[in-house]
């Protein structure tokens, strides 16, 4: 069958999806300079493909410019076309950054962190997903049998990630029914978010080529296990050396590390509207679901919102290189770029405010009465998307991190998502998100 090689250029949107256009591969060099046409109102396309209330209407034009540093080309060697993808920046016609471009928003946060600390974030994403058509029985959690049942698909994922320019780390059968987890090595700055977007598309493509579908939905079943995204963060100094760990500090948190984490915890109840931005996110973010429910730091605690990750070595240099903390109140309904922008701004705010290093919790916070929690400085995270949006919109410090008008546009986007789901049962809501993600 006749076929021409195509390249897809897409921008990560508010719903965590890539939207864009394809063009002939032969025109790639031209498109790197001229880009493709785009429309402001496209930013208000929700994960259900309905346009939320938009301040732009039918007016305006933008350009999406492919970034050759965010290119992935994977030939699955199965007779089908290669997946050729570039991420792009959305710009005004004069070339200036557009206020709602998620990659631009992340760059701004990274630049702020560098200004206040001289540090650059070094990050990696853990992604959980499930296969929709696998229908494996219970009893396969973490097992060789569960892995073996999808070994062809899982091997294809790893090979495709490597071919696409990512460095695979691990892949496993997770706890949930037909649930898997895949990780890649950490990357500096915006590259970490770019790789998260590319990884999701590679997994989806590999599943389709194995006659299945992969879904990264935060929750497929109200009574089931959710799919989270855990974001591992450490820092490099201006010379590229690890700068997260201090062997003399409590739990190894260097001064900037402690202040950064303190900022994340202080503003967590507002930024979770960006890092866990779906209706079903808040069914998952509840106590005793191994996710996150309070603005606490933990050590060896997989229910803390931020966790200091264990290191199995006594070598000082290895400890410094591996030392990192994990942000756990996130899922794949979030744009990786927006999620990192919010987390990094919160951490930079903590550094600017000179916040003291937080002390890890050592108990089940859900067992404490609200007044005791408040006295200890802990907050229950929002328990619904509307509540999360209200806390985000009502926090002038947090909304001030973003360009003028961004907070209103973002909240309108999410309220359009809520309107689509109004009146539906939780089972139906889960089904809609499973189909979308």
Read off the pLDDT of residues 319-372 as tens digits, 9 standing for 90 and up: 999 999 999 999 999 999 999 999 999 999 999 999 999 999 888 888 888 888
Name which residue leads in pLDDT, 362 or 204.
Answer: 204
**Alpha-carbon distance 351 to 426, whole Å?**
40
**Are 35 and 55 in contact, with CB atoms under 8 Å apart?**
no
* Res 134 pLDDT > 80: no
Q: Which secondary-structure segment (H or E) carries 318?
A: helix 316-322
* CA atoms within 13 A of residue 227's CA, in its CB half-sphere: 31
Those residues whose C-beta lies under 8 Å from the C-beta of residue 313, and which sit 6 or more positions away, are 319, 322
Question: If you average pLDDT over residues 225-238, what whole number do you get?
Answer: 96
Residue found under tokens 């990786």: 336
Residue found under tokens 């935060």: 218
Question: If you average pLDDT over residues 53-60, what whole number do you get?
Answer: 94
**Alpha-carbon distance 256 to 350, whole Å?**
9
- Residue 97 phi, psi dihedral angles, 5° rounding: -65, 145
**Alpha-carbon distance 374 to 253, whole Å?**
25
Q: How many CB atoms lie within 10 A of CB 73?
A: 15
For the chain, the farthest-separated pair of C-alpha atoms sits apart, in whole angstroms, at 69
- With CA atoms as reference, report the closest residue to 217 among 298, 125, 334, 135: 334
**Alpha-carbon distance 72 to 199, whole Å?**
10
* Average pLDDT of the chain to the nearest whole number: 94
**Alpha-carbon distance 87 to 69, whole Å?**
9
The token pair that represents 34 in the structure block: 């001229």
Pairing of strands 187-188, 229-236: unpaired
Confidence of residue 219 (pLDDT cuts 50, 70, 90): very high
**Alpha-carbon distance 159 to 384, whole Å?**
39
Partnered with residue 87 across adjacent β-strands are: 10
Q: Which secondary-structure segment (H or E) carries 23?
A: strand 18-24
* Res 123 pLDDT > 80: yes
Model pTM? 0.95
């Amino acid at each position: 069958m006749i076929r021409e090689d195509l390249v897809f250029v897409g921008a990560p949107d508010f719903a965590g999806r890539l939207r864009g256009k394809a063009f002939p591969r032969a025109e790639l060099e031209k498109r790197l300079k001229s880009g493709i046409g785009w429309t402001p109102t496209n930013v208000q396309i929700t994960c259900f493909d309905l346009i939320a209330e938009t301040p732009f209407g039918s007016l305006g034009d933008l350009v999406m410019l492919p970034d050759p540093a965010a290119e992935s080309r994977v030939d699955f060697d199965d007779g089908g076309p290669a997946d050729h993808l570039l991420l792009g920046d959305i710009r005004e016609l004069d070339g200036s950054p557009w206020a709602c471009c998620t990659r631009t928003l992340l760059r701004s946060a990274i630049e702020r962190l560098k200004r206040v600390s001289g540090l650059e974030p070094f990050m990696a994403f853990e992604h959980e997903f499930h296969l929709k058509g696998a229908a494996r029985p219970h009893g396969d959690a973490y097992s060789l049998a569960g892995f073996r049942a999808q070994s062809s698909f899982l091997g294809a994922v790893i090979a495709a990630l490597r071919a696409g320019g990512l460095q695979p780390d691990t892949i496993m059968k997770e706890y949930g029914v037909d649930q898997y987890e895949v990780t890649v090595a950490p990357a500096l700055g915006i590259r970490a978010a770019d790789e998260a977007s590319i990884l999701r598309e590679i997994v989806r493509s590999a599943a389709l080529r194995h006659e299945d579908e992969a879904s990264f939905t935060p929750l497929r079943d109200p009574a089931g296990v959710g799919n989270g995204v855990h974001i591992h963060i450490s820092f490099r100094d201006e010379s590229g050396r690890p700068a997260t760990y201090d062997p003399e500090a409590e739990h190894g948190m260097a001064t900037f590390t402690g202040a950064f984490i303190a900022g994340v915890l202080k503003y967590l109840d507002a930024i979770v509207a960006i890092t866990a931005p779906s209706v079903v996110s808040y069914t998952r973010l509840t106590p005793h679901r191994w996710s996150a429910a309070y603005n606490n730091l933990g050590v060896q605690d997989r229910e803390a919102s931020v966790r200091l990750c264990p290191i199995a070595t006594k070598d000082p240099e290895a400890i410094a290189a591996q030392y990192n903390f994990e942000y756990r109140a996130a899922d794949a309904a979030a744009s990786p770029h927006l999620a990192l922008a919010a987390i990094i701004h919160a951490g930079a705010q903590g550094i600017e405010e000179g916040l003291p290093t937080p002390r890890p919790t050592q108990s089940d916070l859900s067992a404490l009465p609200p007044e005791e929690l408040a006295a200890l400085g802990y907050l229950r995270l929002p328990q619904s998307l509307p509540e999360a949006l209200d806390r985000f919109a009502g926090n002038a410090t947090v909304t001030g991190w973003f360009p003028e008008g961004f907070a209103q546009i973002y909240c309108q986007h999410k309220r359009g998502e809520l309107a689509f789901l109004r009146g539906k049962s939780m089972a139906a809501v889960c089904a809609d998100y499973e189909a979308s993600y």
